Amino acid sequence: MQTQIISGNEIAKQILQDLKIAVSKLTVKPLLKIILVGNDPASQMYVKMKRKRGEEIGIVVDIINLNEATTTAELLSLISELNLDPKVTGLFVQLPLPSSIKEEEIIAAIAPEKDVDGMSPVSLGNLWHNNKSFASATPLAIITCLDYCSKLTGISLSGKHAVIINRSNIIGKPLGALLLQKDLTVTYCHSKTTNLEFFTKAADILISATGKAGMIKGNMLKPGAIVIDAGTSVSADGNVHGDVDWESVQGIASFVTPVPGGVGPLTITMLLKNTVVAGARNE
């Protein structure tokens, strides 16, 4: 069996082209406000990438830079102001926040209709109730990869067994809701799971987002499984690695996403797609 690579870069390129056309048809360009607190280099890089991609398709992206000393109360006040501003289409707070800020309060304060990264408890709750809601960008990116595989092979995802190694509010929980909406059978694994290999070998679709480099080996897979690597870690030499041991899964997995170049590029794309959808609702 030849393992096929799912190129997030290529899929994202086509989606961004479609979004650019959609934005050109809107009366008012969507406005995405990104709040960045502090001077974390990685966070600064991420928001710059989001602005660059957004501006390429016609979205107005405004980055609000706040200093490290910003308090929870000050940030909540700003979010309240942006929630009420009719010109603001989407609102995104770059994580992580400084330890002095109560992150959960901040996320919960974002208005659901502007929560284009689907991180608030209301957004997540709506997702589980099958109500109209924005889902987190990374789960949407993973679903997009799976839809790509289904379209390419002509094989439906319905009824397949998906194993998620992650139970976070940002990735695991919303992803499970999205997979259930597509009629998949979903199993969650996490750091306390015993005999992980028992579950991974039973997976038609394995999604790992642990940040532990190379933890998923080929001998842990069911032959022909689709493997989505949503984990990233940086080694001492500065190289980025995924959860999947790339060489050992070749010839065993039917499809696999690379790191970098897999889920990552699609995550930014899904945030922008949600922003365009929010803009279209305001027309």
Just list the catalytic residues: 50, 94, 117
Measuring CA to CA, which residue among 237, 235, 230, 238 is closest to residue 260?
A: 230
Q: Which residues contact 224 (CB under 8 A, 6 or more apart)?
A: 1, 204, 253, 254
Measuring CA to CA, which residue among 134, 144, 136 is closest to residue 11?
A: 144
Report helix, strand or coil for 143: helix
Measured distance CA(108)–CA(85) in Å, rounded:
18
Per DSSP bridges, beta strands 255-256 and 4-5 are parallel
Residue 63 corresponds to which tokens in the numbers above? 């980055």
* 235: DSSP letter: -
Q: Which residues contact 35 (CB under 8 A, 6 or more apart)?
A: 64, 66, 75, 78, 79, 91, 92, 93, 94
Beta bridge partners of 37: 66
Measured distance CA(216)–CA(201) in Å, rounded:
11
Measured distance CA(110)–CA(133) in Å, rounded:
13
Q: Is the distance from CB of 53 to CB of 268 less than 8 angstroms?
A: yes
Sheet with 90-93: strands ordered across:
60-66, 31-37, 90-93
